[in-house]
Amino acid sequence: MPLIVHHLENSRSQRILWMLEELALPYEIKRYERDKETMLAPPELKHVHPLGKSPVLQDTDAGQTIVETGAIIDYLVELADGKLGPPAHRADTLRYRQFLHYAEGSMMPPLLVLLVVNRIPLVGKTAAKRIQPMIDIHLDYVEAELSSRPYFAGDELSGADIMMSFPLEAARSRAGLDESRPATIAWLDKIHARPAYQAALAKGGPYAYA
């Protein structure tokens, strides 16, 4: 089996399993558990890549090791001859590229900061109150976008939706995303109902955000 996903429980790498299921590409999973005290990835992941992070995709046939979720998404789109890649219409293509990078470049940083400060005794709650308005700006933006079309890039599911799934699932879990933003909640419910998403969940093991 040429594709190997080094998959950490409760992490961004769940998106890669979903992508592979949507593309119907054969793959193998190597699972890793978080440290129970620190919740960090185990040191074994550093044997795969120096950063010790997940996801990591190995294409053994091509002799390639790829990190960064967006780069892996691009790689898989190429392997699948463009399936789930940029739509044909120029405006949709630009949206695709924007959201492919926006997910990790703009939306995830404040969500990660919120996760960290919420674990700090005493001052954490005060800091979180300052961060939440920043996250709300992102949630309002996403709600406006999804109110105008069914998926992030256009009328069909794409890699942009797969990239956006984790920050929005995290926001629903811990950062105020609720039924007050109905278009976003409807989008989450829609992607969670997809057979490929469910298949990825079954194969991936613990994932707290679905």
CA dihedral sign of residues 121, 40, 33, 77: positive
* pLDDT the model gives residue 170: 95
Domain ranges of the chain: 3-84+196-204, 90-194
Q: How much is the pTM?
A: 0.94
CATH topology of domain 90-194: Glutathione S-transferase Yfyf (Class Pi); Chain A, domain 2 (1.20.1050)
10-residue averages of pLDDT along the chain (210 residues): 91 97 97 88 94 96 96 98 96 97 97 88 81 96 98 97 97 95 98 98 89
Q: Where are the alpha helices (DSSP H) in the chain?
A: 14-23, 69-79, 90-102, 108-117, 123-146, 159-174, 182-192, 195-204
- What radius of gyration do the chain's Cα atoms show? 17
CATH of domain 3-84+196-204: 3.40.30.10
